[in-house]
Amino acid sequence: METFFEFFSFSDASIVSVTVGAILLTASSAVVGTFTFLKKKALVGDAVAHAVLPGICLAFILSGNKNPLILIIGAFITGWLSLIIIDGITKKSKIKEDSAIALILSVFFGIGILMLTYIQHSGNAAQTGLDSFLFGKAAALVGNDVITFGVVAVTLMLTVSLFFKELKLISFDSNFAKALGIPVKGIDLLLTTLTVLAVVTGIQAVGVILMAAMLITPAAAARFWTNDVKKMTILAAFLGAIAGLVGAYVSYAAPAMPTGPWIVLIISGIALFSFFFAPQKGVVSRMYEQRKMQHLMMNENLLKSLYHLGEKDDNLFKGRKMAEILSKRYFPKKKLKETLTRLKRQGFLISTQAGWSFTEIGKQKGQRVVKLHRLWELYLTKYMHIASDHVHEDAETIEHIITPEVEAELERILEFPTEDPHDEKIPY
């Protein structure tokens, strides 16, 4: 707890720089990643992330020190090269994009690991900490590094906001963009460059191996909450930033903990939460909707059965025992009880000595379902020429979903019929 307050008071200058650095890195890669995600190029980020490793190592071997600017340049060159090669392979050979990505990713990463091992055994004292690029180390962000990475991160976000309109258009409809005369190739190149830059800076925080998650996961999580590209981009940045903040805290509180995996765990947790609990698109909300629909169908089926019973002995408001309802239509006992109590609570039924009976609005609701069922049967026989003994099953489903507008339309085109195809009265 003590470290918690210590950290979040931001009294220590190094805490501030680590935190600001981590947040900028994660947020900027989330912003760029939104468009990689929308262009369905999620794997491209993964390829670049692995392909920058040889660049970093080569830059170190040639320069002999860990100046971040030099490492960024090295990383940038091999990251870019990998994308050009993937593009070339896809265009010039029969190998498809996914295979090309897999090929390039492993070849570049293999070379990178080879070089890293060589450097580690070379006895160069400056090499310590270079392996933090594998898993990332937010705590390594100090002083000038933060400024370098911060500038790159801010540039990324500014560039995306400047070209937002064009990025949106080429992600949605690149043929139309070309037809408009928008420099689609140029914008594509820009997005590629931004992706490489985002990866190059982001690996400082989460490392080579997990970088793809940092590009794609915030966007994937944000997509659950909004249907607007702009809101989605901002939300992705925000979610990425939260993960960055927590990551920075972890590396402060427990210096032995790997920062990158923590950041990725947090953002994955957020994505998982969105997957389950987002309104409309989330699993839970969809399950809730389904349950509501099931309740509605149970309600209506029960009211319909009561109406049928009432029709039979010409007394719609007579009380009925559960056994009598079951004789009309099968319901699982438990479900039947539940539904009866629910309908009572909702004011459609009352329970009396003689059993369950309609209230006035309960009767109207039951009558409407019966009417819709019979109207639909009539419609199917009249307009779709389906035999009258084949229409019942279909009407069983459709009766629950017909809206008042469709109802009025059916009544109009069938001219308020009085009888359905089985000579049963259609009640109004």
Cβ of residue 397: shortest distance to another protein, in angstroms?
A: 21
Contact between 168 and another protein (CB under 8 A)?
Answer: yes
- The interaxial angle of helices 229-253 and 164-172, nearest 10 deg, is 110
Question: Which of 10, 64, 118, 178 forms a contact with another protein (CB under 8 A)?
Answer: 178
Query: Closest Cα to residue 191, out of 39, 294, 82?
Result: 39
Beta bridge partners of residue 352, listed in sequence order: 355
Q: Which residues of 51-89 are buried (b: 16+ CB within 10 A; e: fewer)?
A: bbbbbbbbbbeeeeebebebbbebbbbbbbbbbebbeeb
Considering only the stretches 178-186, 245-253, 306-314, 397-405, report the one whose residues sit in contact with another protein under the rule CB under 8 A.
Answer: 178-186
**Radius of gyration (Cα) for the chain, nearest Å?**
32
Q: Which is nearer to another protein, 164 or 277 (CB)?
A: 164
User: Contacting another protein (CB under 8 A), which of 16, 179, 254, 413?
Assistant: 179
Give the interface size with another protein as a residue count (CB under 8 A).
Answer: 24
Among 191, 195, 192, 58, which residue's Cα sits nearest to residue 133? 58
| Least gap, CB of 279 to another protein (angstroms) | 14
Closest by CA to 359, choosing from 407, 415, 316, 388, is: 316
Residue 403 tokens read as 């809206």
Could you tell me which stretch among 25-33, 166-174, 194-202, 329-337 binds another protein (CB under 8 A)?
166-174
Q: Which of 172, 238, 273, 288 binds another protein (CB under 8 A)?
A: 172
Give the span between the Cα atoms of 157 and 197, in whole angstroms: 11
For residues 38 to 77, the per-residue mask of contacts with another protein, x marking binding by CB under 8 A and - elsewhere, is x---------------------------------------
Q: Which is nearer to another protein, 286 or 335 (CB)?
A: 286
Do 313 and 327 contact (CB within 8 A), yes or no? no
Least CB distance from residue 389 to another protein, whole Å? 31
CB atoms within 10 A of CB 251: 26
> How far is residue 135's CA from residue 48's CA, in Å, rounded to a whole number?
15
Pick the binder of another protein from 46, 145, 166, 377 (CB under 8 A).
166
CB of 280 to another protein, least distance (A): 10
Question: Does 173 interact with another protein (rule: CB under 8 A)?
Answer: yes
| Residue 181 binds to another protein (criterion: CB under 8 A) | yes
Cβ atoms of residues 79 and 200 within 8 Å: yes
Q: Build a one-symbol-per-residue string for 347-386: x at contacts with another protein by CB under 8 A, - elsewhere.
A: ----------------------------------------
Residue 389 neighbours by CB under 8 Å, 6+ apart: none
SS3 state at 119: helix
Q: 159 or 259: whose CB is closer to another protein?
A: 159
Give the nearer residue to another protein in terms of CB position, either 145 or 166: 166
Side-chain half-sphere CA neighbours of 282 within 13 A: 17
Q: Which C-beta is closer to another protein: that of 130 or that of 182?
A: 182
169 lines the binding site for another protein (CB under 8 A): yes
Which DSSP state fits 350?
A: E
Given the complex with another protein, which of 99 and 226 has the nearer CB atom? 226
Angle at 78 between CA 77 and CA 81, to 5 degrees: 90
How far is it, in rounded angstroms, from Cα 425 to Cα 371? 9
Shortest spacing between CB 27 and another protein, in angstroms: 19
Q: What angle do CA 235, 239, 243 make, to 5 degrees?
A: 165
Identified binder of another protein from the candidate list 5, 92, 122, 175, rule CB under 8 A: 175
Closest distance to another protein from the beta carbon of 173 (Å): 5
Report the amino acid identity of residue 31. Answer: V
One residue of 16, 84, 126, 162 binding another protein per CB under 8 A: 162
Site for another protein in 213-242 (CB under 8 A): 223, 226-229, 232
| Of residues 273-332, those binding another protein (CB under 8 A) | none
* Least separation in angstroms between CB 179 and another protein: 4
Could you list the residues that contact another protein (CB under 8 A)?
38, 162-163, 165-166, 168-169, 171-173, 175-182, 223, 226-229, 232
